Structure 1
């Protein structure tokens, strides 16, 4: 059933309030945060988010859902312009850091020695420190073996940084053995 004019106007107003809160927030806002601050139902929030997305589709921002909630970000279409104009904003993540992070993301929970086994090289403490400093990994428990090494997991901040809502959105793992056999 189509919405009445009053309902459409109400949802448009709620969508503007969501947009204001997302602009003002330094971190993503969850659906529960938005419902609480705006005193709306789950259905009204979903409808207002759809209205907001439709309005944003006409501009340069997009509504993005991450593991920590909703946020506004510049549409991917404009990434080349931003990279050319603000090259200092680009953060270079080294190959060792990305390999380590990939092993943790795809194989978690893992220990330091698990990462070293997969990568075939000794893991630099500096790499792990960088990942901890960024808040992308955390220790969560210990492996029940000699020495009880810490088990490493990714965090919601990792998911947020890479624009994911959960680990199932990671691209499929390539067949490394097949690639090695071809070379």
Structure 2
């Protein structure tokens, strides 16, 4: 049998992992490690151990602990996405091809201007598409290009990363070779 102090420490960490789980369930947005540490008065080591225990407990069920750019959140395991889409089809948001193309140009080429996007896409960019991306909080203006007219520079946000389950831009899939798609050599 384990010594009492080791058992007490494990019990303490189990309780912490449950408290973290409660906070994540109650939160509408991901929680940063600093927020979790502050709310529960944890050290870095305690937080790491409690998160590991939480993940172990969750592995037996349908929820997963997921880290995004804004912090940690709970989400349903990917293996259940087909069931959710079948039962709750209204939850599945359809994004237009133009919106996805615009968002891709911004994500992969940032910072970019509106004219940069139009050049890459080969079509005029609808203000409605940019408005949708701003309204979702997926892009922001940050700085100006030092050229005629000083156009605003567009960047993706932490909300964009959160929406697509990424912790940083390095996790974006590799950009396809567009010349190979067109059949050019």
Deviation per residue, 1:115-173 (Å, 9 max, x gap)? 00000111011100000000000000110000110000000000000000000000000
Equivalent residue number for residue 63 of structure 1:
65
Shift of 1:6: 1.6
Q: How big is the alpha-carbon RMSD for the aligned residues of Structure 1 and Structure 2?
A: 1.2
User: Given the alignment, which residue of 74, 77, 87 partners 2:76?
Assistant: 74
Deviation per residue, 1:86-137 (Å, 9 max, x gap)? 0011100010000000000000000000000000111011100000000000
Shift of 1:19: 0.3
Equivalent residue number for residue 149 of structure 1:
151
Equivalent residue number for residue 40 of structure 2:
38
Cα distance in 2 between the residues matched to 1:18 and 1:182:
53
Specify every segment of 5 or more residues in structure 1 that has no aligned partner in the other structure, as ranges: none
> How many equivalent residue pairs?
181
Equivalent residue number for residue 165 of structure 2:
163
Shift of 1:182: 5.0
Normalised to the residue count of structure 2, the TM-score between the two structures is 0.95
Shift of 1:181: 2.8
Q: Secondary structure at the match of 1:4?
A: helix
The answer to whether structure 1 residue 112 and structure 2 residue 103 are counterparts is no
Cα distance in 1 between the residues matched to 2:77 and 2:64:
5
Cα distance in 1 between the residues matched to 2:8 and 2:83:
40
Specify every segment of 5 or more residues in structure 2 that has no aligned partner in the other structure, as ranges: none
The structure 1 segments of at least 4 consecutive aligned residues displaced by more than 2 Å after TM superposition are: none
Normalised to the residue count of structure 1, the TM-score between the two structures is 0.96
Shift of 1:179: 2.0
